[in-house]
């Protein structure tokens, strides 16, 4: 289903956060107002204004320090909890195999954010939309790499053909294991039936702040089983109501405009 | 740097010491990663803090700030003791076999060399360097002992000098674990084998000390012993911290040099042109060409006014008066009211200078101040600081808005000496102007004023050749580039390179090192963008590297005396026996007219003796690096009990640094300052960028967990940091960053805590914070006067105390 994916090779990540600011720049996301809370990582949470960021985790490894840095954001899961949770089908898999949100269909229920194992979906209260990484759908559809990958100076964010990227990830893990990182692994190949953001980790996922066993919550599956068949009806209803409202608004607008014009003519 | 960024891919071991390469030079990691991936290279990170570089390194070596010389001295001893140096290289390409004067000596109690004298004018000591010279025969040739066994030969003097730098002693001084220390020595010394390359990267964590120049010397000694100079993947690689700071240095932004690294003439020593040329031109080595470069530079300055009969205008050139005019000394004279005005061009000393609080105070003594920058900064608006009363300040301040680098065209030199053209991407907003536009407008007005009204000594300005305008009266950058490149005055055009420069006034050249970078107006070499298809990554058709497009300097050393590369996998230059000629993937950095054996005699072509100097009489503070403590030190000197900080370093202010036990108790923690990747220098640009402020919103101080527990400091809480410079003053307020990335060290038997603070904040801009350099001392290196930012002492307390 997927043709192109992205590899996050944490063993090459220097935490420079070029990806984080490139994402904000390309997607024109405003800066959040933050404070220093005791660590380099900032903003503290993913939000409608922060779709990707570098997560920093310090660890004491038998007296020696480890500092795990990794770019995190939407994983674009195959078995995506958010897609199953969405009551309107607004959040869906694209023809590229990535997960994106159709803002027209989004009703702002926030079920997707609650279901996500990675806690990467933000909610825009003013617009009443869920927002998250689009995998730079606009860029990759036009032959460009995602903004984060373009900005990475060290080659830690590789974008390319799925098979080639998986092969590179496997060879990198082999290299790391042979060079003293016995716990090096690929993350995102089997998890949630595969993710479009594939990771090479040097250590256990929890050291990076990633869930060890990401999965679709059972509640989401039950909800989806019951609600799924109704979805088409709901979508039709929502679409009808939007259409009806649009027509009504247009009639009102036209009426107002006519009145104003008329008023002007009278004077 | 002697090598270049892309060349890092050929290194077998890379030591990042006194520089946070992943964070402050992010692109370096691309090539370091390539070396690790393709040839299993190892990265050693030597840094007091566990930085982002440490996080991706193979070995982290935490040193107490200010002990690099001890660390490197220990490495030199390890190399010599274990016989790990590259013997053929050392014998043929270094001065290891040279004999030094019999009366040369070093006193292990005072830590001073022979020739020491008091220098009351600087409240310090100075050296008479005559005993440090080579022992020469009657013809002036240096005596050598090729067996390198004579007790007076450099190699044996080196052994003797570093005999006390044992791993145990260095472990106590630096506070680094003995095994980690030894492992780092073992790893780096493994590059002494022919065919292996060790690369040392450094930045301000090596230079910003009262012994900074000697730290760099120590790196040079290590690299010469291991045969790592002039080879692919090796080198002494200074990573420059700003775009085009290399170019700025090349163009002589420092007061002691003029363009092309020629010394500034001194009034006392060089009253005439012939005095300057005679005294400054050595008998051998490349600098025998100095008269050609110097006279071509005078022609660039004074044009047709520079003729032989008036010493090519030499008398108009400003001369040094024998006094120190570096940053610290300049501010001292400002404090004493000796300065009337100051132009701060892309400079913000109110935040970046040592003891910055007093700098802001002295600035009020100025009649006028010009600040040229992209944004309003703390230097321009020193009078807005809390506690200052603008009514009492008479300084008139002018702020000139400058264009950003993408809003103007021009050439930039990167750390690897590549001069690359940068095209303009967009127009500057509003009244912002390029630096070239500003300097052109300023000088033309000055010249018109002096021509019209005269003044004190108007000749240097009136006679200055300044014709860079095009027909519409706008600055024409091509004219500037042509002058830097050099041309013949007979109208026959640009010179091809500096080999065509003359000392008879027939050529003009603004900087001999750059000559060749713009030698063709339609296709200037600095605008070339052709990638290499085969070779070792020299990319000779991409831009232009000074000098003469050489990518790795001293590259004669990459091959043995017979001209055979030490490492056939990455050959740079080699002697082709059949063709009887030199071949290579780089531009040879030696006279290719010579046979291999002749050229092997002087591979370091810039020096009269032609050899790398393990021992050098060049620096003011000794022929060999000595371990001195920093000025603010938490401990006595373990190796030389009578030595305090560098005895040759000038004492500018009384009662300024921590020198008594009582003060050490008052300021017990070692402070080091640094930068983070999210902000840049004093933050003038970056603190006005919301996306960067979001990532690094506030000033913080990194504290280890044990110290935080001891002082009751919670992570993220507010603390106050004080130092001897802020005695009885409010201190610097910051947020606490309690981290595992710093750990207490055992220094000479005492537990010592190191804390770190980034220096990006100030009181102007979108994102404000305290000025960290209010804490740092105004002391500097005796050769360069670079201030000691990287090691001082401080105290910390909770804000609610």
Å between A209 CA and nearest CA of chain B = 16
Q: Which residues of chain A neighbour B680 with C-beta distances below 8 Å?
A: none
Per-residue pLDDT of B678-728, as tens digits, reads 999 999 999 999 999 999 999 999 999 999 999 999 999 999 999 999 998
- Judged by a CB distance cut-off of 8 A, whether residue A28 touches chain B is no
Contact A154 B30 (CB under 8 A): yes
* Reported pTM: 0.95
The SS3 call for residue B268 is coil
- Structural domain contains residue A12: yes
Per-residue pLDDT of B320-359, as tens digits, reads 999 899 999 999 999 999 999 999 999 999 999 999 999 9
3-state SS string over B353-388?
CCCHHHHHHHHCCCCEEEEEECCCCCCCCHHHCCCC
- The ipTM value here is 0.93
Q: Is the dihedral of CA A174, A175, A181, A185 positive or negative?
A: negative
Provide the chain A residues 227-256 that lie in CB contact (below 8 A) with chain B.
Answer: none
- Judged by a CB distance cut-off of 8 A, whether residue B499 touches chain A is no
What burial class does residue A232 get, using C-beta atoms within 10 Å of its C-beta: 0-12 exposed, 13-18 middle, 19+ buried? exposed
B665: its two tokens: 């108790």
- Judged by a CB distance cut-off of 8 A, whether residue B692 touches chain A is yes
Q: Which domain holds residue A248?
A: 230-266
pLDDT beyond 80 at B769? yes
Per-residue pLDDT of B595-638, as tens digits, reads 999 999 999 999 999 999 999 999 999 999 999 999 999 999 99
Q: Verify cis geometry, omega within 30 degrees of 0, for the bond prior to B261.
A: no
Query: In chain B, pLDDT over 70 holds for what percent of residues?
Result: 100
- Structural domain contains residue A205: yes
pLDDT for residue A249: 63
Closest CA to B786 of B266, B205, B261: B205
- Whether A140 and A53 map to the same domain: the answer is yes
- Can you tell me the distance from the alpha carbon of B8 to that of A152, in angstroms, rounded to the nearest whole number? 18
- Whether A148 and A242 map to the same domain: the answer is no
- Structural domain contains residue A225: no
Contact A21 B55 (CB under 8 A): no
| Pair B703, B49: CB distance under 8 Å | no
Number of domains in chain A: 2
- Select the residue from B19, B40, B56, B769 to test the A interface by mutation, using most A Cβ atoms within 10 A: B56
Closest-approach residue (CA) in chain A for B741 = A65
End-to-end CA separation in angstroms for chain A: 65
- Structural domain contains residue A223: no
- Whether A161 and A244 map to the same domain: the answer is no
Instruction: Give the dihedral of Cα atoms B652, B655, B657, B662; nearest 10 deg.
Output: 170
Contact A69 B55 (CB under 8 A): yes
- Whether A76 and A116 map to the same domain: the answer is yes
Contact B26 A31 (CB under 8 A): no
- Structural domain contains residue A35: yes
- Whether A126 and A255 map to the same domain: the answer is no
- Whether A164 and A258 map to the same domain: the answer is no
- Whether A166 and A250 map to the same domain: the answer is no
- Structural domain contains residue A222: no
Q: What is the mean pLDDT of residues B367-375?
A: 98
Q: Which residues of chain A neighbour B60 with C-beta distances below 8 Å?
A: 64-65
- Can you tell me the distance from the alpha carbon of B351 to that of B357, in angstroms, rounded to the nearest whole number? 8
pLDDT for residue B141: 81
pLDDT for residue B395: 97
Residue that has been written with the tokens 């809003």 in this structure:
B407
When the pLDDT of each residue in chain B is averaged and rounded to a whole number, the result is: 96
Å between A19 CA and nearest CA of chain B = 12
What burial class does residue A167 get, using C-beta atoms within 10 Å of its C-beta: 0-12 exposed, 13-18 middle, 19+ buried? exposed
Q: Which residues of chain B neighbour A184 with C-beta distances below 8 Å?
A: none
- Whether A166 and A242 map to the same domain: the answer is no
- Whether A85 and A140 map to the same domain: the answer is yes
CATH of the domain at A48: 3.30.70.20
Band of residue B754 on the pLDDT scale cut at 50, 70, 90: very high
Domains of chain B: 5-99+134-238 (3.40.228.10), 327-414+418-453 (3.40.50.740), 661-798 (2.40.40.20)
Question: DSSP secondary structure string, B178-206?
Answer: HHHHHHHHHHHHGGGSTT--EEEEE-HHH
Closest CA to B273 of B504, B23, B549, B544: B504
Ranges of residues in chain A with a pLDDT under 50 are 260-267
Å between B40 CA and nearest CA of chain A = 9
Closest CA to B113 of B98, B95, B132, B96: B132
- Judged by a CB distance cut-off of 8 A, whether residue A212 touches chain B is no
The SS3 call for residue B21 is helix
pLDDT beyond 70 at B267? yes
Q: Of all helices (H) and strands (E), which one includes residue B229?
A: none
Contact B741 A58 (CB under 8 A): yes
Q: Which residues of chain B neighbour A175 with C-beta distances below 8 Å?
A: 37
- Can you tell me the distance from the alpha carbon of B305 to that of B250, in angstroms, rounded to the nearest whole number? 25
- Structural domain contains residue A235: yes
Kindly list the distances between the CA atom of residue B82 and the CA atoms of B186, B192, B524, B676, in Å, as whole numbers in the listed order: 10, 11, 50, 38
Closest-approach residue (CA) in chain B for A42 = B695
Count interface pairs A-B at CB distance under 8 A: 106
Strand partners for A160 = A5
Question: At CA A79, angle to CA A76 and CA A83, rounded to 5?
Answer: 70
Strand partners for A168 = none
Contact B29 A14 (CB under 8 A): yes
Per-residue pLDDT of B532-552, as tens digits, reads 998 999 999 999 999 999 999
Contact B695 A20 (CB under 8 A): yes
Q: Which residues of chain B neighbour A22 with C-beta distances below 8 Å?
A: none
- Judged by a CB distance cut-off of 8 A, whether residue A21 touches chain B is yes
Q: Which residues of chain A neighbour B56 with C-beta distances below 8 Å?
A: 11-14
pLDDT for residue B139: 79
The SS3 call for residue B569 is coil
- Whether A40 and A165 map to the same domain: the answer is yes
Strand partners for B419 = B413, B544
What is the bridge-based pairing of β-strands A197-201 and B573-576? unpaired
- Structural domain contains residue A113: yes
- Whether A259 and A199 map to the same domain: the answer is no
- Judged by a CB distance cut-off of 8 A, whether residue B27 touches chain A is yes
- Judged by a CB distance cut-off of 8 A, whether residue A150 touches chain B is no
Per-residue pLDDT of B456-499, as tens digits, reads 999 999 999 999 999 999 999 999 999 999 999 999 999 999 99
- Judged by a CB distance cut-off of 8 A, whether residue A171 touches chain B is no
Q: Which residues of chain B neighbour A58 with C-beta distances below 8 Å?
A: 739-741
Contact B56 A59 (CB under 8 A): no
Contact A40 B690 (CB under 8 A): no
Closest-approach residue (CA) in chain B for A153 = B27
Per-residue pLDDT of B377-402, as tens digits, reads 999 999 999 999 999 999 999 999 99
B56, B715, B716 ranked by CB distance to A14: nearest: B56
Closest-approach residue (CA) in chain B for A15 = B52
pLDDT for residue A227: 77
Q: What is the mean pLDDT of residues B500-514?
A: 98
Closest CA to B33 of B49, B18, B53: B53
Å between B27 CA and nearest CA of chain A = 5
- Whether A101 and A200 map to the same domain: the answer is yes
Q: What is the mean pLDDT of residues B179-184?
A: 98
Band of residue B243 on the pLDDT scale cut at 50, 70, 90: confident
B644: its two tokens: 């305090």
Contact A38 B737 (CB under 8 A): yes
């Amino acid at each position: 289903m997927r043709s192109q994916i992205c590899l996050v090779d944490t063993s090459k990540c220097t935490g420079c956060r070029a990806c984080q600011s490139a994402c904000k720049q390309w997607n024109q996301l405003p800066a959040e107002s933050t404070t220093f809370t005791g660590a380099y990582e900032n903003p503290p949470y993913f939000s409608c204004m922060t779709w990707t960021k570098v997560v920093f985790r310090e660890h004491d490894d038998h007296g020696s320090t480890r500092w795990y840095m990794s770019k995190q954001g939407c994983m674009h899961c195959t078995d995506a909890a958010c897609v199953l949770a969405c009551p309107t089908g607004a959040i869906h898999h694209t023809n590229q195999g990535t997960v994106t949100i159709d803002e027209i269909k989004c009703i702002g229920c926030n079920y997707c954010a609650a279901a996500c194992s990675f806690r990467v979906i933000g909610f825009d209260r003013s617009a009443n939309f869920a927002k998250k990484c689009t995998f730079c759908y606009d860029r990759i559809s036009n032959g460009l790499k995602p903004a984060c990958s373009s900005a990475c100076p060290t080659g830690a964010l590789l974008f390319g053909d799925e098979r080639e990227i998986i092969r590179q990830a496997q060879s990198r893990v082999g290299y790391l294991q042979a060079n003293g990182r016995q716990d090096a692994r690929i993350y995102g190949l089997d998890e949630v039936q595969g993710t479009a953001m594939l990771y090479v980790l040097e250590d256990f996922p929890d050291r990076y702040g990633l869930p060890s066993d990401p999965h679709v919550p059972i509640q989401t599956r039950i909800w989806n089983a019951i609600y799924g068949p109704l979805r088409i009806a709901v979508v039709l209803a929502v679409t009808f109501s939007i259409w009806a409202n649009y027509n009504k608004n247009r009639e009102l607008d036209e009426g107002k405009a006519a009145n104003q014009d008329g008023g002007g003519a009278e004077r | 740097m002697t090598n270049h960024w892309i060349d890092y891919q050929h290194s077998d071991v890379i030591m990042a010491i006194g520089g946070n390469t992943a964070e402050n030079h992010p692109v370096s990691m691309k090539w370091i990663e390539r070396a690790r991936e393709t040839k299993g290279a190892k990265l050693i990170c030597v840094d007091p803090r566990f930085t982002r570089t440490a996080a991706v390194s193979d070995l982290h070596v935490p040193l107490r700030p200010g002990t690099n010389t001890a660390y490197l001295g220990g490495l030199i001893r390890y190399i010599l003791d274990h016989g790990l140096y590259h013997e053929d290289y050392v014998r043929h390409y270094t001065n290891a076999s040279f004999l030094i004067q019999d009366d040369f000596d070093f006193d292990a109690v005072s830590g001073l060399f022979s020739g020491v004298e008091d220098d009351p004018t600087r409240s310090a000591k100075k050296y008479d360097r005559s005993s440090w010279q080579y022992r020469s025969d009657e013809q002036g040739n240096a005596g050598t002992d090729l067996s390198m066994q004579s007790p007076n030969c450099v190699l044996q003097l080196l052994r003797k000098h570093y005999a006390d730098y044992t791993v145990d002693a260095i472990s106590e001084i630096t506070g680094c674990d003995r095994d980690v220390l030894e492992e780092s020595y073992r790893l780096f010394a493994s590059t002494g084998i022919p065919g292996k390359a060790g690369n040392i990267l450094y930045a301000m964590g090596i230079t910003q000390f009262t012994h900074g120049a000697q730290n760099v010397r120590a790196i040079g000694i290590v690299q010469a012993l291991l045969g790592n100079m002039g080879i692919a993947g090796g080198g002494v690689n200074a990573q420059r911290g700003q775009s085009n700071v290399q170019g700025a240095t090349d163009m002589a932004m420092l007061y002691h040099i003029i363009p092309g690294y020629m010394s500034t003439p001194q009034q006392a020593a060089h009253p005439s042109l012939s005095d300057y040329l005679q005294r400054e031109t050595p008998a051998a080595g490349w600098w025998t060409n100095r008269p050609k470069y110097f006279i071509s530079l005078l022609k660039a300055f004074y044009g047709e006014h520079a003729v032989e009969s008036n010493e090519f205008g030499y008398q108009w050139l400003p001369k040094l008066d024998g006094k120190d005019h570096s940053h610290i000394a300049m501010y001292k004279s400002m404090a004493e009211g000796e300065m009337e005005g100051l132009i701060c061009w892309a400079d913000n000393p109110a935040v970046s200078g040592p003891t910055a609080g007093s700098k802001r105070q002295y600035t009020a003594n100025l009649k006028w101040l010009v600040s040229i920058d992209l944004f309003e900064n703390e230097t321009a608006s020193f009078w807005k600081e809390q506690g200052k009363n603008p009514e009492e300040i008479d300084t008139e301040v002018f702020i000139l808005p400058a264009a950003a680098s993408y809003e103007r065209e021009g050439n930039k030199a990167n750390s690897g000496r590549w001069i690359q053209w940068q095209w303009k991407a967009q127009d500057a907003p509003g009244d912002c102007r390029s630096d070239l536009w500003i300097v052109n407008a300023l000088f033309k007005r000055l010249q018109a004023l002096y021509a019209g009204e005269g003044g004190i000594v108007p000749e240097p300005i009136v006679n200055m050749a300044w014709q860079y305008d095009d027909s519409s009266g706008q600055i024409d950058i091509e004219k500037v580039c042509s002058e830097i490149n050099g041309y013949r005055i007979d109208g026959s055009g640009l010179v091809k390179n500096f080999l065509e420069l003359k000392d008879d006034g027939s050529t003009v050249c603004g900087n001999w090192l750059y000559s060749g970078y713009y030698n063709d107006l339609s296709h200037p070499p600095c605008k070339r963008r052709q990638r290499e298809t085969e070779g070792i990554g020299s990319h000779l058709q991409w831009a232009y590297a000074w000098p003469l497009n050489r990518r790795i300097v001293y590259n004669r050393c990459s091959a043995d005396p017979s001209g055979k590369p030490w490492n056939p996998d990455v050959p740079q230059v080699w002697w082709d026996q059949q063709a009887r000629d030199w071949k290579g993937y780089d531009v040879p950095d030696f006279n290719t007219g010579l046979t291999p054996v002749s050229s092997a005699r002087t591979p370091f072509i810039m020096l009269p003796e032609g050899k790398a100097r393990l021992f050098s009489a060049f620096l003011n503070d000794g022929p060999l690096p000595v371990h001195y403590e920093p000025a603010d030190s938490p401990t006595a000197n373990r190796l030389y009990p009578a030595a305090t900080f560098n005895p040759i370093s000038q004492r500018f202010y009384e009662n300024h640094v921590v020198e008594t036990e009582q003060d050490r108790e008052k300021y017990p923690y070692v402070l080091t300052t640094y930068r983070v990747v999210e902000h840049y220098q004093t933050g003038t640009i970056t603190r006005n960028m919301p996306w960067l402020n979001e990532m690094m919103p506030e000033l913080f101080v990194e504290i280890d967990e044990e110290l935080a527990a001891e002082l009751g400091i919670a992570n993220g809480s507010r603390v106050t940091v004080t130092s001897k410079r802020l005695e009885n003053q409010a201190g610097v307020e910051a947020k606490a960053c309690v981290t595992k990335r710093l750990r207490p060290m055992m220094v000479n038997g005492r537990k010592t805590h190191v804390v770190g603070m980034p220096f990006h904040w100030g009181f102007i801009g979108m994102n404000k914070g305290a000025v960290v350099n209010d804490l740092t001392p105004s002391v500097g290196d005796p050769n360069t006067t670079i201030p000691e930012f990287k090691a001082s002492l401080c105290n910390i307390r909770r804000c609610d105390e």
